[in-house]
Structure 1
Amino acid sequence: MNLTCNSTLEDMRIGSEEKLVGEFTFHELALIIAGASTIVAYVMSFYLMWQHALNYTRPREQRHIIRILFMVPVYATSAFLCIWYYWHAVYFQVLSDCYEAFAIASFFALMCHYIAPNLHEQKEFFRTMEPIKPWVWPINWFAKCCGGDRGPWRTPQSGLTWFNIVWIGIYHYCFIRVAMTITAVVTQYYERYCESSNSPVFAHIWVISIVCIAVSIAMYCLIQFYVQLKEPLAEHRPFLKVLAIKLVIFLSFWQTVAISVGTSTLHIVNPSSILAYPDIKVGIPSLLLCIEMAIFAILHLWAFSYKPYIPGTKPTYYPSLDPSLPPRLNENGPNRGGFAGLRAFGDALNLWDVIKAFGRGMRWLFVGVKHRRNDPSYQTKTDTSYPMKPYGSGSEGKSTDHLPIASEFRRSTFAMPKSSTNNMADESIGLIANAHPDPDSAPRYPSPYADVNHRHYYETAGPSHHTFTPYDERGDIGTAISYPPYDAGGSYNYQPTNPTGRREQQQRRGTASSQSPITPTQARVGNALWGDRPPQRGMQ
């Protein structure tokens, strides 16, 4: 295996090629066209950024717009320097690609701020979001082949979980891209990167592969986010914004990879007297990128217009999932751009919010995902494990709905006044409401050890009577009712001292007199039911 890098690109210099147009070689012509395109990209991009800075009325949104607009000058500058200093092109390429990750994250954050002004309200929006659209191709194919709704590629049940997955899929690319940029710079310095080779012994193929996977995941999550929310965010023209971001990243990355594979592996284009090796490897993709950046700078004038942020313009609205609620106003505030908009540029260049967002995503990935089912968004979902509805109820029944007797009593109007309608139902209710006590049965006595929650006040009044003073329904002490003891024949003589008291009070349980003849067997049964009590008179 060859462990030596072919450093032709670093060692070769352009100068002996034939003229292509007039007095210019391809390299000189590429510098002229790339320079002109870079100037156009600069003028259009900085004009738009400056207008946002001078009308900095919604800082939460506009800081992300300025970051996105910075992508065009960064890419154009990098591509022009790659043509000029082609022997150091790898440094400029990886530095511009590093900014790509922050542009994607800024675009995602901008879409989130179109939904709600802060993270807490964004989470509330996604917590109640329904329906959650299935993953777009190819994840939906993977779900069909790998377990469906129970497999690893299933659509999340909770909108908040869906939001966190998309969050991680986008913000992880910031870390991966920065790490791969540092790896490329360090390995290039120690001559172990070798951009001209795709051999696995060099770092180039590994860096390209990891970045390819990471950027594909990030762009997939961004597309899924757009598919889910394109209707609520229609007034912000999300398709044009997604197109402006996606095409820049697609062309800057994939056309470079395609040219690298075509020249290094497939040898589709070979050096000639007109095209030198650096022209094929660096010049052509960099020239195309400069031209594309000029075109995208003009497209951004419509995709990320500053006109909605001018004070006094028509305000926008935050989307609402509840059609019964009026939409929340997203109006412009005071201008916070500072002198000549410099404060707005300083705010946009502060990437601390991106670092915090990445940390939040990692915390949920390693900690929060274990407790995701404790979120209320999972509790409000309808359980489809048992398709039968509870007896006599709707979709949200009580725990006793499966018991018919419980449902019947819950639907009854027990102790309610008799109505003139529904005679069949009122007839059975009236039998209970107008019931009279059985004269042949003695009232049952309460236990002297009754629960204090019954709020009985019990006291003994002399050897021949027991006085029971209950509380009424309002919590006040009611009229005392005196119950005499058993007579000599063993029957109970029920003569309340207050015959006008409530029927409920008359039916309260009293206590047996100490003079009642209680056998030892009855005493043992009573002690087993009520607990041990001191012996009463007449018992040994």
Structure 2
Amino acid sequence: MADIENGRCHKEEAESGPSLLQNGDLVFQAHHVGWIVATSFTLVAMATSFWLIIKHLQWYTNKREQRYIVRILLLVPIYAVISLASYFFWNHSTPLLLVRDCYESTVLTSFFYLLLNYLSPDPDEQRAIFMKAGLSREADAKARLAREEPKKWVFPLGSVKWKPSDGLYFLQWMKWGVLQYCVVRPLTTLAAVILDYMGLYCEESYGLGWGHIYIVIIVSISVTIAMYCLIQLYVAVAEVLRPHRPLLKLFAVKAVVFLTFWQATFLSVLTMFGVVKNTKYMTAADINIGIGALLETFEMMLFGFLHIRAFTYKDYRPFHDPESKDPPPSRTPILRSLGHAMDFRETFREIWQGCVYMWAKMRGREPKHDEGAKRIAHYESAFGKARKSHLDGPKSAFIDRKRAYDAEKLETHAATFPAVYVDVDERIDVGGQRQWLGLGNDYGYGIRRDRSDSLEVQIERELERRGYGSRKSFRVFFFKPCFLNA
């Protein structure tokens, strides 16, 4: 039980136990054995996790995906080390565990944006996908016209009739549901640490006069919303994400959150019913901390091995034929890659853009963020197929640094009308000799590009007919092939 005096609640402390070394002999207490076991689990968990993190940083060829993977992989060493520290210093475990659990919000947000980047590295293409796949009143109307069953919310909200107006609004709601946890969790952690220092937190009490119950309620609601939005977004695009094995990754993330929360709850219930009792050198709360640390460090060791399979680095390592005379691909600088992975400015940017988006919706205006996605959708409607993106293709496409650089500009530059490219890669016979029509520099020579005014006029007219006008100019390029003798 906690010590309550003068309106302040402080953790109950037991008598200090004897030291491990007494008169030249090692005298083991139960918690000494626990320290050794938990330390062993922690070292294994750290070794596996840091090995995998270093591999990703050495082959940091897809920054948009790997920045989030590195953040997720840091979950294991952070949880293992802080859980072990709370066992060694159980009288100060409350602020340590609060700081540990705060990183949970970073992991959930990173996994959410990792799923979005699996769909496409282009934010406009991500939005265009959800224009079709997102739950919305617009999608329900199309489903009824096609005599199909409209999609429902994931359990337990399957009976809720309300839905966003369109798929773009659905995506923004899912983003907000996850990003709010990024704001709520750090703020509640800071508040809890301050209240604990002032003696107003009282972790062992659920009384209304202490801050613990209010922090628990706020965090529980916030994390429930974040997890629900994460699962709802995954269900909407599950088929598109299937090649990336998202279920294994989702389990590797969600199981950590699930186990740590319910283990702590179960141990607290055991203490309330007197199953766990005070000893001479440890209170019941200290014993709970020790049991929790043993379980968590063991679980982090298992998750460290699971992450090696779920978040493998081999997908990002350039292929090199050992029999080839070409030099092996160079590795990326570890520190520079780590600096990019731990740069959280894009998270703050997403929060700010979400505020601007919601403000525009509240004022009855169409957010500018959606213009690029709507252009892509209208292009597909006009030409009967999706606009070919230079970002499409296997992961090996990201190894090309020029393509990676071009993709980087998509995040910073304003959306423009899509350029239309014609890919020519055919074999023909000219004068009895075999010739090739190449694209770009794929065949070792440059390709000239000529402007096609007629096609530009056609596309401009089509966009004007759909209500987009011609306020912005755009160019349509054709590749004019050059012929070379075989």
TM-score after normalising by structure 2: 0.65
Aligned residues: 344
Report sequence identity in percent: 35
1:485-504 pair list within 5 angstroms: none
Mapped to 2, the partners of 1:140 and 1:372 lie a distance apart of: 30
Counterpart in the other structure of 1:427: none
Counterpart in the other structure of 2:7: 4
Mapped to 1, the partners of 2:305 and 2:268 lie a distance apart of: 29
Counterpart in the other structure of 2:180: 172
Shift of 1:248: 0.6
Mapped to 2, the partners of 1:313 and 1:355 lie a distance apart of: 38
Q: Which runs of 5+ in 1 are unaligned?
A: 149-153, 315-333, 382-540
Distance 1:192 1:335, change over 3 A: farther
Comparing 368-377 with 300-309, greater Cα deviation is found at: 368-377
Tell me if structure 1 keeps the 8 A contact 2:14–2:281: no
Mapped to 1, the partners of 2:350 and 2:362 lie a distance apart of: 16
Shift of 1:5: 4.4
Counterpart in the other structure of 1:197: 205
Q: 2:246 matched to 1:238? A: yes
Counterpart in the other structure of 2:36: 32
Shift of 1:107: 0.6
Shift of 1:266: 4.2
Shift of 1:335: 6.6
Q: 2:336 matched to 1:343? A: yes
SS of the counterpart of 1:167? helix
Counterpart in the other structure of 2:153: 135
Distance 1:130 1:222, change over 3 A: closer
Structure 1 residues 13-53: Cα deviation after superposition (integer angstroms, max 9, x where no partner): 45279xxxx95333112211110111011000000001001
1:365 equivalent among 338, 358, 361: 358
Counterpart in the other structure of 1:352: 345
Shift of 1:366: 3.9
Structure 1 residues 293-352: Cα deviation after superposition (integer angstroms, max 9, x where no partner): 1110110001100010011389xxxxxxxxxxxxxxxxxxx87832xx111111111111
Shift of 1:273: 5.6
- Over aligned residue pairs, what C-alpha RMSD do you find? 3.0
State the one-letter code of the partner of 1:258: F
Distance 1:336 1:368, change over 3 A: farther
State the one-letter code of the partner of 1:343: R
1:271 equivalent among 278, 282, 291: 278
Tell me if structure 1 keeps the 8 A contact 2:8–2:198: no
Tell me if structure 1 keeps the 8 A contact 2:45–2:80: yes
Shift of 1:6: 4.5
Q: 2:53 matched to 1:49? A: yes
1:122 equivalent among 96, 119, 126: 126
Counterpart in the other structure of 1:15: 17
Going by fraction, where is helix more abundant, 1 or 2?
2
Tell me if structure 2 keeps the 8 A contact 1:64–1:107: yes
Q: 2:164 matched to 1:156? A: yes
Comparing 119-128 with 271-280, greater Cα deviation is found at: 271-280
Mapped to 1, the partners of 2:362 and 2:75 lie a distance apart of: 33
1:248 equivalent among 236, 256, 262: 256
Q: 2:314 matched to 1:307? A: yes
Shift of 1:258: 3.3
Shift of 1:368: 2.8
TM-score after normalising by structure 1: 0.59
Counterpart in the other structure of 1:322: none
Mapped to 1, the partners of 2:276 and 2:359 lie a distance apart of: 47
Quick check: which has more Rg, 1 or 2?
1
Shift of 1:274: 8.5
Tell me if structure 2 keeps the 8 A contact 1:59–1:336: no
Counterpart in the other structure of 2:231: 223
Mapped to 1, the partners of 2:331 and 2:120 lie a distance apart of: 20
Tell me if structure 2 keeps the 8 A contact 1:57–1:335: no
Structure 1 residues 68-119: Cα deviation after superposition (integer angstroms, max 9, x where no partner): 0001111001100000011110111111111110111011111111111132
Distance 1:16 1:187, change over 3 A: same
Structure 1 residues 436-490: Cα deviation after superposition (integer angstroms, max 9, x where no partner): xxxxxxxxxxxxxxxxxxxxxxxxxxxxxxxxxxxxxxxxxxxxxxxxxxxxxxx
SS of the counterpart of 1:231? helix
State the one-letter code of the partner of 1:189: Y
Distance 1:271 1:301, change over 3 A: same
Mapped to 1, the partners of 2:364 and 2:49 lie a distance apart of: 44
